[in-house]
Structure 1
């Protein structure tokens, strides 16, 4: 390398992105995720009711599907109205190296 500097190509580099904020997802993203959860759970109720109608000759199976479909709207509302949990993940934060201006070994002259 000459006096003008240059690019170091053989150094190991960490390409993981650096997180510069601890902001939560936007409200629109959270709302869309909650709507998807609600619609999925309510969509699970329809097959349960249809299966209960199909198996009406086997009373215990029809009753099982019916009992399974009853609490689904309540559970769907509870899950959809709950905010998402905080993520406990290890994130890459910017680490600034501290440089000393002067060395710490000074002699104090009292006079």
Structure 2
């Protein structure tokens, strides 16, 4: 007679976001950052016309924003999810750390298999 295993639900909370969702969030982040850059340009032009005190400081801040923000925007727009080798190492680390709990624990506390579309 074979001993029957207790049913363990499969959770997908560790599943990565879809490619479309990742692309959409990166595009939105890029648009927001480039809008901030455009605002720095407009504020710099207004400051030159108004000539407030410490004009050199305000123009320097706007200039730094106009130079650094596009660089950061491109870096963040091209950033993707963690590489598979890091996700795999993290998964292995968790599985080594977890021991098989007794069957009397509720389903939420038992180790659960993770479905990964990339496997």
Q: TM-score range by the shorter chain?
A: 0.5 to 0.7
Aligned residues: 76
Alignment of structure 1 residues 1-111 onto 2, 5 Å: 19-20=11-12, 22-56=14-48, 57=51, 58-84=55-81, 95=110
What CA RMSD, in Å, does the superposition of the two structures yield over aligned residues? 3.0
Which residues of structure 2 form unaligned runs of 5+? 1-9, 91-106, 112-119
Alignment check: 8 A CA contact 1:48 1:69 kept: yes
Deviations 1:40-83 (A, max 9, x none): 11111011111111111223312321222111111000011111
Which protein has the bigger helix share? 2
Within 1, Cα distance between the matches of 2:79 and 2:69? Answer: 15
Within 1, Cα distance between the matches of 2:110 and 2:76? Answer: 38
What TM-score comes out, normalization by structure 1 length? 0.56
Structure number with greater Rg is 1
Within 2, Cα distance between the matches of 1:45 and 1:24? Answer: 31
Within 2, Cα distance between the matches of 1:94 and 1:20? Answer: 15
Alignment check: 8 A CA contact 1:19 1:94 kept: no
What TM-score comes out, normalization by structure 2 length? 0.52
